[in-house]
Amino acid sequence: MRPKREVRSVLDASVLLAYFQRESGYERVRKALADGAAISAVNLAEVFVKVVERGLPLEDIAQRLHALGLGVATFGEEDARRSAGFHPEARKLGLSLGDRACLALGARLGLPVLTADRAWIRLAGVNVELVR
């Protein structure tokens, strides 16, 4: 991960999409981006898939994210282990691999995770903040 500034929070794909679409909670995401935020490469892939599905220019979105200074964290062995550790509890809540990747990054960095998914607040051991 090569953030341009200190990272203070981790973003889920849902909140980054809310930011681009000016949905409820996007102001909170804008502040997080300005303060220094990171996203797991797994979650960034989710964002890029949605961009492609909507017919938006992928390269334009990628450049905007770069300009915003969003840090992108690789998904390595440590995150894979943490993600697996969340699986038993997360499965009951219907969380995906992408969700667990985001949570794993937040846990590894010891930072709050911003999401729009209320189910996440039921997980122990991760500081989850809802943006809406």
Here the tokens at position 96 are 């995906």
> Which of these, 86, 53, 71, lies nearest to 6 by C-alpha position?
71
List phi, psi (to 5°) of 10.
-115, 135
Which pair of structure tokens corresponds to residue 50? 């949605």
Is residue 27 predicted with pLDDT exceeding 70?
A: yes
Give the mean pLDDT of 81-86: 96
State the DSSP code for 129. E
Q: What's the average model confidence in pLDDT over 8-21?
A: 96
- Separation of alpha carbons 43 and 52, rounded Å: 14
CATH 3.40.50.300 fits 9-130, yes or no: no
pTM for the full predicted model: 0.92
Segment 33-42, tens digit of pLDDT: 999 999 999 9
